[in-house]
Amino acid sequence: MEWNTRGKVRSSRVRPRHADVLDVSITGARLVAPQKPSVAVGQTITIAAGGSRGTVTVRHIELLSHAHLAAYGVEFLRLEPGLEAFLFSQIATDRPEGLELKWGKAL
């Protein structure tokens, strides 16, 4: 996914950074992207994937010790349907088999 695209889906002038999706919830996500001092808690950032975009507010920044990366906790403000589908498809991608069964037994 593209991170901090300054409102553009694709532009020859704007070189978006790429981010990896670590976790997704109904209200937000945790993304790993290159550290950027100009990104601050409370800032609104544009994200994009597959030609769709959305806006998020940065709620938490955790600097990681390797490769100049940071984990960004973001809250969704607006997601186009294609971006929403992409993000929520990430939930099923990494889910261990039988997780629902284990949750059902725990309840």
Per the model's pLDDT, the better-predicted residue between 69 and 93 turns out to be 69
Distance CA 78, CA 53 (A): 9
How far apart CA 70 and CA 64 sit, in angstroms, is: 5
13-22 pLDDT, tens digit per residue, is: 555 678 888 8
**Which neighbouring-strand residues pair with 69?**
34
List, for residues 22-33, the tens digit of each pLDDT value: 889 989 999 999
Rg of the chain taking only CA atoms, in angstroms: 15
- 2-106: CATH topology: Thrombin, subunit H (2.40.10)
Alpha-carbon distances of 50 from 4, 21, 53, 102, rounded to whole Å: 15, 14, 8, 33
Condensed to tens digits (0 to 9), the pLDDT of residues 94-103 reads 555 554 544 4
Phi first, then psi: give them for residue 30, nearest 5 degrees: -115, 120
pLDDT in tens, 23-72: 899 899 999 998 888 899 999 999 998 889 999 999 999 999 877 899 99
Q: Per the structure block, which two tokens stand in for 41? A: 């808690």
Contacts of 32 (CB under 8 A, 6+ apart): 19, 20, 22, 64, 69, 70, 71, 72
